[in-house]
């Protein structure tokens, strides 16, 4: 397997300021195809996708899970990788997948785009979550064997928590591979809301989801 056997799916909603860098990182990593699944952007996202040379542009109902499921339906490579629009893949990331051997799914170590020391602790915590709880978040660029992913239920068409739902389902079948990557992620949400406050909010969402709260209810909380 080579990086050309990987489809990178990027869900977007008004991501004009971030999308070009995400697409370029996927191309530099050698992706066989880059798919943008848009949930109804009103800014220049679609035009930027075309200029950036994405291979497939999908119009989808909004909701990250719904958009990723729409992208998965048109992907045709052996492996799919789910990349947030404000994330960037390391140039060697797809090669690392190719060296995994047989696998069902996995994710990457993070690098938060800030020099603040507190973010190094956030990165360690997020990586530990994958190692010890087998739960990967979407901003860790989850990847999976496409045919096996479809066999085991695909991606849930929900507005939020599709990553936790996917991890919870797949970890019952196989432990995720955590690769060094890195995937570089924007610090915008932590910067806007405060590192501690945002981290506690993320934990709260996970606990509420585990206790049975619906993704629709949690999405409203997340947006607020």
Which uninterrupted H or E stretch holds 109? Answer: strand 105-112
Rg of the chain over CA atoms, in angstroms?
16
205 SS3 class: helix
Separation of first and last alpha carbons in the chain: 43
Report the CATH superfamily, name and number, of domain 3-188: Spore Coat Polysaccharide Biosynthesis Protein SpsA; Chain A (3.90.550.10)
Q: Report the range of poorest mean pLDDT among 125-134, 143-152, 185-194, 196-205.
A: 196-205
Q: How many CA atoms lie within 13 A of 224 on its CB side?
A: 7
**DSSP letter (8 states) at residue 176:** P
Burial of 88-98, coded b for 16+ CB within 10 Å and e otherwise, reads bbbebbbbbbe
pLDDT in tens, 142-183: 999 999 999 999 999 988 789 999 999 999 999 999 999 999
Report the b/e string of 143-155 with b at 16+ CB within 10 A: bbbbebbeebebb
Q: What is the spatial distance between Cα 214 and Cα 158, in angstroms, rounded to a whole number?
A: 9
pLDDT per position as a tens digit, 56-107: 999 999 999 999 999 999 999 999 999 999 999 999 999 999 999 889 999 9
The domains of the chain are located at 3-188
Q: What is the spatial distance between Cα 118 and Cα 40, in angstroms, rounded to a whole number? A: 35
């Amino acid at each position: 397997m080579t990086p050309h056997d990987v489809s990178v799916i990027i869900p977007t909603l008004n991501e004009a300021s971030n999308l070009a860098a995400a697409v370029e990182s996927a191309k530099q990593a050698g992706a066989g195809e880059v798919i943008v699944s848009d949930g109804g952007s009103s800014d220049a996202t679609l035009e930027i996708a075309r200029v950036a040379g994405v291979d497939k542009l999908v119009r989808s109902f909004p909701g990250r899970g719904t958009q990723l499921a729409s992208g998965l339906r048109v992907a045709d490579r052996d492996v799919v990788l789910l990349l947030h629009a404000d994330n960037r893949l390391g140039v060697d990331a797809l090669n690392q997948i190719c060296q995994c051997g047989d696998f069902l799914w996995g994710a990457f170590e993070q690098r938060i785009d800030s020099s603040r020391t507190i973010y190094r602790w956030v990165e360690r915590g997020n990586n530990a979550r994958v190692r010890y709880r087998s739960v990967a978040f979407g901003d860790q660029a989850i990847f999976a064997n496409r045919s096996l992913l479809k066999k085991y239920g695909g991606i849930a068409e929900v507005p939020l928590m599709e990553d936790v739902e996917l991890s919870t389902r797949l970890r019952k079948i196989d432990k995720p591979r955590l690769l060094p990557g890195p995937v570089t992620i924007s610090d915008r949400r932590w910067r806007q809301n405060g590192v501690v406050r945002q981290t506690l909010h993320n934990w709260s969402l996970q606990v509420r989801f585990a206790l049975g709260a619906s993704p629709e209810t949690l999405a409203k909380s997340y947006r607020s």
